[in-house]
């Protein structure tokens, strides 16, 4: 599965779980744009991702992680393990 398609599926799933319609996002962008995102035809900027996630009530990393879980067909545990290793290698410290 392509990344844009996986992101679109994750976005649509999150929107439905949040009980939101595409029209609910009109304060952020047009329904046409949201539809294009959900169909995997476009990808959002980081700023747009943050605004979408604010309305959904999820952290942007959650939506991105859900996208990669769908794309790569891996477990949450495998993704978290990889992230922990890579973040540690980057020198990112947890509190």
Q: Which of 38, 63, 33 is nearest to 49 (CA)?
A: 63
Buried b (16+ CB within 10 A) or exposed e, 61-79: eebbbbbbbbbeeeeeeee
Q: Which domain holds residue 19?
A: 3-89
Q: What is the CATH number of the domain that holds 54?
A: 1.10.260.40
Question: Is 58 inside a domain boundary?
Answer: yes
Question: Is 95 inside a domain boundary?
Answer: no
Question: Which two tokens mark 57?
Answer: 């009530």
How many Cβ atoms sit within 10 Å of the Cβ of residue 59? Answer: 12
Question: Is 94 inside a domain boundary?
Answer: no
Question: Is 34 inside a domain boundary?
Answer: yes
Q: pLDDT at residue 31 above 70? A: yes
Span 43-77, pLDDT tens digits: 999 999 999 999 999 999 999 999 999 999 999 99
Question: Is 61 inside a domain boundary?
Answer: yes
Q: Specify the number of domains making up the chain.
A: 1
pLDDT-based confidence at residue 95 (cuts at 50, 70, 90): low
What does each C-alpha distance from 70 to 7, 20, 67 come to in angstroms?
8, 21, 5
């Amino acid at each position: 599965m392509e990344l844009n398609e996986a992101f679109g599926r994750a976005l649509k799933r999150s929107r439905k779980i949040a009980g939101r319609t595409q029209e609910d996002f009109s304060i952020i962008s047009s329904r046409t744009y949201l539809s294009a995102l959900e169909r995997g035809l476009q990808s959002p900027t980081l700023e747009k991702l943050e605004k979408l996630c604010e309305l959904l009530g999820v952290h942007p990393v959650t939506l991105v992680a859900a996208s990669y879980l769908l794309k790569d067909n891996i477990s949450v545990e495998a993704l978290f393990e990889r992230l922990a290793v890579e973040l540690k290698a980057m020198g990112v410290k947890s509190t």
